[in-house]
């Protein structure tokens, strides 16, 4: 190896939450390190050699010619390279002035997907937000899906119940509005989803409920294509039928409360009513019902097709109801609850039990109807809060904002009103272009890291990677940038608890390359020693199923709450779907607004009948329209999508679907934006 100058570093990919094990080949050239290649690590205990095109593109991302290298400050309308001192001094002075005259809530913080995969950076961002004491915290929670924690809270009395299929044992798996073959799972890490799903379909049944015959549906044993947003009806029908016959008696008697109210709520969902509402063949519904009745245990996995719809909460509720009624919760062959690796839920003497009406806090002043959920404000309220003059500075930590938030046109003009827009990024974006401060961060190959979202894993594990290469230019670790900003605002963040033990020895100033010291603190309360994780790269603890801590929690709860009133009310208020509705979808070679240079295009999938009615041909530009705006992409006519659904991907600055999404259209319980099931019209592009 030494003679070729090529070394191989074992790491893990942090483009998405599947955190595949990778081997990175680096050429140590006197002119600088060159990242040559990323390939799958066959010895990795979870991903076993799997990678996708996004992970394999890390060398291209790292060496992207536009990568940010220097802190920039807007002077007289132009971004200029200045050193860290000048940039951070200016930023801190301006934030201090804003806080002094308008209060801490005038500073908003967005913890975007970019910092979401940077463990020390993310924890330091939380510490900064706590130190500033601003309630104006935003994250992808309210633009991705709030239904999962909400339903965990309302039905299970604890938001931290993170439920997922027991892939090793499940013989009957239903996907609703998720396409893991492309996405690798929603709120669940599925490297090599294709292999996992094939295996389950071989030994049992996999059903996909999706308006599109997706890549995942192609591997499934059954597919149902209801009209967008009507999945709740299909699940309500299954729950209704199980309550008539097939529900587990023992569970009904000892582990479930309010079953009568659940039965009353789903009573209207007869086969005929459901078939008409969802526009599916009644015979297909009966086949699915019979399969469910015959299955014994099962698991239902939902994705963004569900969590972004108006019916998000009720659909998630009924998915859980189905798993509870079949005695699948906390059972092999059903679903399990992740206890956490960096934190350990089973070590709590008693998990807190939340009130039946849920847990919410006060929201932003400009949007009285929007509440805070999980300590965050709805992303959909950001533009209004800026327009109202309540938020005057925004710290954007690795976020796409305009391609991610609803009503991009309104947000764009709101951003122009800000006194301060500071963006921590690795590449220039349409947000850095309008920022007052641009803070260049190390990319994932330039920093050591651990798996922050270990609860999304399919097992109880953690990973560590060293930095693969040295950072170029003046790029710094996100945690260092935030700690230095905090220090200038009078907060010693390096001395704070950022997830682990308060390390006595690294308070005060910390060298910018002390990534490992920060990671040790992030992992301070973890199951294994950080020093051992550094050596091994991967640590795993046994998975307990059934888990005693879940049963103990249910004992204290008194059984699953089968019919939370808020959800019963939302179900009763559901209205009929519109004739033509926009639905979201992920594409293989980009992640949200990232990696669009790999060649994915804004292809809009249309059923040939819908296209013919609008006079649109295959491969022609099509304009999708509603009262807010238009988005234009290339039409692809295909019978893989059902009539009445228009599938539009997101993440393209030049074909931004968020010109159509409405920041006023939020879930009244949680503030989640509606991105799925928007009424639209289509026409050939002018
Ligand atoms: N209409 C519509 N809107 C949607 C969605 C949809 O389906 N439809 N999906 C929603 C979902 S699920 C989500 S999660 C959000 C995502 O929205 P965002 O959280 O805004 O995510 P990205 O667009 O991925 O932007 C991430 C940014 O981080 C930067 N970045 C990459 N690596 C690093 C790094 O190592 N450090 C730092 N500091 N930055 C880095 C990238 O360059 C990129 O600009 O969008 C939501 N918006
Ligand atoms: N390649 C790639 N991978 C990604 C991402 C990416 O951008 N690209 N993004 C990552 C992020 S941030 C997230 S949150 C996850 C999301 O992961 P998933 O939720 O699995 O996302 P999708 O692959 O878009 O699958 C959503 C499916 O819902 C369907 N759908 C739309 N509307 C409805 C509806 O009303 N009912 C039903 N039943 N189905 C509907 C769509 O047709 C689509 O097949 O993916 C992650 N992984
Ligand atoms: S699925 Fe792809 S993007 Fe996600 S971690 Fe694995 S290689 Fe990276
Ligand atoms: Mo997401």
394-411 per-position pLDDT tens digit = 999 999 999 999 999 999
Q: Which residues contact 496 (CB under 8 A, 6 or more apart)?
A: 127, 130, 131, 502
Distance separating the N- and C-terminal Cα atoms of the chain: 58
Distance 55 CA to ligand 3 centre (A): 5
Q: What angle do CA 495, 498, 502 make, to 5 degrees?
A: 50
What does the pLDDT average to over 87-114? 98
Residue 515: count of CB within 10 angstroms of its CB:
23
Does the pLDDT at position 1 exceed 80? no
Q: 89-100: b or e for each residue (b if 16 or more CB lie within 10 Å)? A: bbbbebbeebbe
Q: Which of 12, 111, 112, 411 to mutate to test the pocket of ligand 1 (most atoms within 8 A of CB)?
A: 112
In a 10 Å sphere around its CB, with 0-12 CB exposed, 13-18 middle and 19+ buried, how is residue 48 labelled?
middle
Q: Tell whether the model's pLDDT for residue 500 goes beyond 60.
A: no
Which residue's CA is minimally distant from atom 2 of ligand 3? 52
For 415, residues 6+ apart whose C-beta sits below 8 A from its C-beta are 386, 394, 401, 402, 421, 431, 434
Atom of ligand 1 nearest to the CA of 139: 19
**610 Cα: distance to centroid of ligand 3 (angstroms):** 35
Strands 393-397 and 335-337: unpaired
One DSSP character per residue, 414-476 reads HHHH-SEEEEEESS--TTGGG-SEEEEBP-GGGS-EE-TTGGGSSSEEEEEE--SSPPPTT-B
Task: Give 77's contacts (C-beta < 8 A, 6+ positions apart).
Answer: none
Site to probe by mutation for ligand 3, drawn from 40, 46, 55, 600 as the one with most ligand atoms within 8 Å of Cβ, is 55
Distance set, CA 310 to CA 163, 214, 572, 684 (Å) = 22, 22, 13, 28
Select from 545, 147, 456 the least CA-distant residue to 318: 147
- Between 132-141, 423-432, 486-495, 630-639, the lowest mean confidence (pLDDT) is in 486-495
**C-alpha to C-alpha distances, 520 to 122, 353, 502, 513, 527, nearest whole angstrom:** 14, 31, 10, 14, 12
Q: Tell me the CA–centroid distance for residue 24 and ligand 4, in Å.
A: 26
pLDDT of residue 506: 38
647 in ligand 2 pocket by Cβ < 6 Å? yes
Q: Is 58 in the pocket of ligand 3 (CB under 6 A)?
A: no
Asked if 416 and 406 touch (Cβ cutoff 8 Å), the reply is: no
Q: What is the pLDDT of residues 292-335, one digit of tens each?
A: 999 999 999 999 999 999 999 999 999 999 999 999 999 999 99
Question: Looking at ligand 3, which atom is closest to the CA of residue 16?
Answer: 4
List the one residue out of 381, 382, 222 whose CA is nearest residue 298: 222
Q: How far is the CA of 217 from the centre of ligand 4 (A)?
A: 21
Q: Is 249 exposed, middle or buried (0-12, 13-18, 19+ CB in 10 A)?
A: exposed
pLDDT (tens digit, 9 = 90+) per residue, 43-75? 999 999 999 999 999 999 999 999 999 999 999
Q: Is 51 in the pocket of ligand 3 (CB under 6 A)?
A: yes
- Where helices occur in 523-673 by DSSP H, the ranges are 530-536, 548-557, 565-572, 608-614
Q: Is 240 within 8 Å of 545 (Cβ atoms)?
A: no
Percentage with pLDDT > 90 across the chain:
95
Indicate the DSSP class of residue 346: G
If pLDDT is split at 50, 70 and 90, which confidence band does 29 have? confident
What is the structure's pLDDT at 501? 36
What are the tens digits of pLDDT across the range 553-603?
999 999 999 999 999 999 999 999 999 999 999 999 999 999 999 999 999
pLDDT of residue 359: 95
CA distances from 159 to 134, 171, 374, 643 (A): 22, 27, 9, 37
Q: What is the mean pLDDT of the chain?
A: 95
Does residue 191 have its Cβ closer than 6 Å to ligand 3? yes
Cis status of the peptide bond prior to 546, with omega within 30 of 0: yes
pTM listed for this prediction: 0.97
> Quick one: which of 434, 139, 417, 193 has its CA closest to 301?
193
pLDDT band at 508 (very low <50, low <70, confident <90, very high): very low
Q: How far apart are the C-alpha atoms of 140 and 316, rounded to whole Å?
A: 18
Q: Which ligand is nearest to the CA of 225?
A: 2
Pocket test for ligand 1, best of 108, 121, 304, 404 (most atoms within 8 A of CB): 404
Nearest to 565 by CA among 265, 311, 334: 265
Residue 581, H or E segment: strand 581-585
Q: Residue 57: CB within 6 Å of ligand 3?
A: no
Q: Looking at the predicted structure, is the pLDDT value of residue 663 above 50? A: yes
Pocket of ligand 1 (CB under 6 A): 112-115, 118, 140, 143-144, 304, 398-400, 403-404, 424-427, 429, 441, 443-444, 478, 584, 591-594, 650-651, 657-658, 661, 675
Q: Are 58 and 444 in contact (CB under 8 A)?
A: yes
User: Is 15's pLDDT higher than 50?
Assistant: yes
The two three-digit tokens of residue 431, written as one number: 């947000």
Model confidence band, residue 275 (pLDDT cutoffs 50, 70, 90): very high
pLDDT of residue 30: 84
Task: Assign 422 a pLDDT band (cuts: 50, 70, 90).
Answer: very high
Distances (CA, A) of 272 to 208, 280, 300: 21, 10, 23
Give the residue-averaged pLDDT of 24-44: 95
């Amino acid at each position: 190896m030494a003679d070729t100058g090529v070394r191989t570093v074992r790491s893990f990919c942090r483009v998405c939450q599947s955190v595949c094990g990778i081997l990175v080949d680096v050429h140590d050239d006197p002119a600088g390190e060159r990242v040559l290649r990323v390939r799958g690590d066959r010895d990795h205990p979870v991903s076993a050699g799997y990678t996708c095109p996004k992970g394999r593109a890390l060398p291209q991302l790292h060496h992207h010619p536009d990568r940010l290298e220097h802190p920039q400050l807007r002077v007289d309308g132009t971004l200029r390279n200045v050193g860290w001192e000048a940039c951070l001094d200016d930023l801190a002075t301006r934030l201090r002035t804003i806080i002094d005259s308008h209060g801490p809530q005038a500073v908003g913080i967005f913890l975007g997907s970019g910092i979401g995969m940077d463990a020390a950076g993310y924890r330091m961002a939380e510490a900064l937000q706590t130190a500033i004491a601003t309630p104006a915290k935003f994250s992808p929670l309210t633009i991705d899906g709030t239904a999962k924690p909400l339903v965990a809270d309302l039905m299970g009395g604890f938001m931290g119940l993170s439920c997922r299929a027991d892939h090793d044992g499940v013989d009957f798996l239903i996907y609703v509005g998720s396409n893991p073959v492309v996405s690798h799972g929603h709120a669940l890490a599925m490297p090599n989803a294709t292999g996992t799903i094939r295996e389950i379909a071989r030994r049992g049944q996999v059903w996909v409920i999706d308006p599109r015959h997706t890549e995942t549906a192609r591997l499934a044993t059954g597919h149902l294509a209801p009209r967008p947003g009507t999945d709740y009806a299909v699940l309500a029908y299954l729950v209704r039928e199980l309550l008539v016959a097939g529900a587990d008696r023992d569970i009904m008697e000892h582990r479930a409360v309010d079953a009568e109210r659940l039965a009353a709520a789903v009573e209207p969902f007869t086969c005929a009513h459901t078939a008409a509402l969802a526009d599916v063949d009644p015979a297909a519904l009966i086949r699915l019902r019979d399969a469910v009745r015959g299955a014994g245990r099962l698991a239902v996995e939902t994705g963004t097709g569900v969590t972004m719809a108006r019916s998000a909460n009720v659909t998630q509720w009924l998915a859980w109801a189905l798993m509870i009624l079949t005695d699948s919760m906390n059972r092999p062959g059903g679903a399990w609850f992740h206890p956490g690796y960096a934190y350990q839920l089973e070590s709590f003497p008693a998990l807190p039990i939340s009130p039946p009406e849920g847990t919410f806090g006060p929201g932003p002043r400009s949007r009285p109807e929007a509440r805070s959920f999980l300590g965050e404000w709805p992303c959909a309220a950001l533009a209004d809060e800026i327009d109202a003059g309540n938020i005057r500075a925004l710290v954007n930590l690795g976020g796409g904002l305009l391609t991610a938030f609803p009503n991009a046109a309104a947000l764009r003009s709101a951003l122009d009103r800000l006194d301060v827009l500071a963006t921590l990024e690795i590449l220039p974006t349409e947000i850095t272009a309008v920022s007052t401060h641009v803070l260049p961060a190390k990319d994932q190959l330039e920093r050591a890291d651990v798996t922050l979202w270990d609860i999304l894993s399919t097992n109880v594990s953690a990973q560590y990677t060293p930095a693969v290469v040295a950072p170029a230019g003046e790029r710094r670790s996100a945690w260092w940038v935030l700690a230095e900003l905090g220090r200038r605002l009078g907060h010693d963040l390096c001395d704070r608890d950022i997830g682990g033990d308060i390390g006595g020895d690294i308070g005060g100033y910390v060298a910018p390359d002390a990534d490992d010291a920060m990671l040790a603190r992030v992992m301070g309360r973890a199951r294994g020693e950080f020093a051992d994780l550094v050596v091994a790269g991967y640590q795993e603890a046994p998975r307990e199923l059934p888990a005693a801590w879940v049963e103990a929690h249910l004992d204290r709860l008194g059984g699953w709450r089968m019919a939370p009133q808020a959800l019963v009310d939302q179900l009763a208020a559901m209205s009929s779907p519109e004739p033509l509705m926009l639905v979201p979808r992920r594409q293989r070679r980009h992640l949200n607004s990232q990696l669009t240079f790999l060649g994915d295009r804004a292809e809009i999938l249309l059923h040939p009948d819908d296209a013919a009615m609008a006079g649109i041909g295959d491969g022609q530009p099509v304009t999708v329209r509603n009262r807010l705006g238009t988005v234009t992409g290339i039409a692809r006519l295909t019978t893989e999508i059902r009539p009445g659904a228009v599938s539009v991907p997101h993440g393209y600055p030049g074909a931004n679907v968020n010109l159509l999404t409405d920041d006023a259209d939020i879930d009244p319980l949680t503030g989640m934006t509606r991105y799925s099931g928007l009424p639209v019209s289509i026409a050939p592009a002018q």
